[in-house]
A = this chain, B = another copy of it.
Amino acid sequence: MTELKSMSKDELTALHNKYLKEYNNYRDMKLNLDMSRGKPGAKQLDLSNDILKGLDDYHSANNFDARNYGILDGLPETKKIFSDLLDIPEESIIIGGNSALNLIYDTFVRLCLFGTLGSTPWLKLPKVKILCPVPGYDRHFSICEELGLDMIPVPFKNDDLDMDIIEKLAAEDETIKGIICVPMYSNPTGAVYSDSTVERLAKMKTAASDFRIFWDNAYAVHHIYKENKLADIFKLAEKYENEDRIYMFFSTSKITFPGSGVSLISASKNNIEEIKKRMSIQTIGYDKINQLSFVKFFKNADNIMKHMEKHASILRPKFDMVIEILEREFKENKMCRWLKPDGGYFITLFTYEGCAKETVKLAKEAGVIVTNAGATHPYNNNPKDDCIRIAPSYPYMEELKTAMEVISSCVKVATTAKLLEQFTAIPE
């Protein structure tokens, strides 16, 4: 087959029309499939149904009545399991409510309102900038935008952070106050930050003394194909005496139930002390019955790892299916490329420049909802318009197959339409 870019207008038009016909067939099926968010599927949720069986004892390990007020920072046995699971000290942990996103939001709000460890509240400064690796997580960007923090997109390079750029920016600009990122199975690319990247983040000189790393370790144990290991940023930060730089976030939203998991923030002694003091004004404490249920269900960190293997075995065929269909559909014409992750929740699809929005729009019109193109970038603005986040977890296999065929079809229509544009400028 002729290479796409060397096709004549007639050849391309013929191809476009062929793709359009296929697309219209899909559209006539009046599908209704939602792949917009990284939601676990029903089978995954079923893995944790025993949590719903309730509790026969409401006492914590230290014989505290978990039904009543008290214990702001979480039950000791809940901390213990997370400490073992994530290899962080129990005393570095505060257990939150059902949402790590909420802990991230609250942490940003505190920095804006109060500063940290004696620094100026960010809202009192004329400008505060946050580094945002792109493609990245739309809900992170929404928080920064909501709080008026300027987002500076920073690129990936070879599926890792481009640390040269980050070090340079952080060192030169004191209005750059932090970075927000998903270091393990990054949302959406699946990148796992290399040891060198983690060390450079922990070590780097920052013009702002209150530079903060929002280390959203959402997928720390969410392996699918391979068990990657992330370097311990806390230990590295301690080595360079930057331990106050890091806030780590984690939750069981994608381990048990997204609606009612347990979240945590982990940080240095100074930070934990400060957060607890501020948090004690905000709440008397988070849901300890839920914390107990979590402990009763898992008992220990090993069981969580076994549980995650079950998640992986449900997710793997779905990720396989996405990759297979992409490989099949774009074997001849390489109209897009994709990143196959070792874990996490997403597959990132890169289209020709200027084709992502049109692809998502076409898919929507055919009843397949994908995350908005642009959502992977701050301010919904991907200048290249080439990135689509695929979330394979929620649909059933058959649905997923159809959805991926539809999306592939949309990529083909959008790409050929885009390529045809070059001819419109040329008089016949």
Contacts and interface: CB of A to CB of B under 8 A. Distances in A.
A195 interface: no
Contact of A259 (B48, B56, B69, B142): B69
Interface of A: 37, 39-40, 42, 45, 48-49, 52-56, 58, 65-70, 97-99, 101-102, 105-106, 109, 112-113, 123, 139, 142-143, 146-147, 253, 257-260, 278, 281-290
A99 B54 contact: no
B69 A45 contact: no
Contacts of A67: 45, 48, 257-260
A58 B48 CA distance: 12
Contacts of A55: 52, 54
Nearest to A109: B109
A250 to B, nearest CB: 16
Contacts of A287: 97-98, 259-260, 287, 290
B97 A282 contact: no
A339 to B, nearest CB: 24
Contacts of A102: 282-283
Given A54-B53, A123-B123, A284 B260 contact: no
Contact of A105 (B56, B65, B282): B282
B286 A98 contact: yes
A99 B143 CA distance: 22
Nearest to A258: B69
A52 B99 CA distance: 22
9 contacts: A40-B68, A66-B260, A69-B258, A99-B283, A109-B109, A113-B113, A123-B123, A259-B288, A260-B288
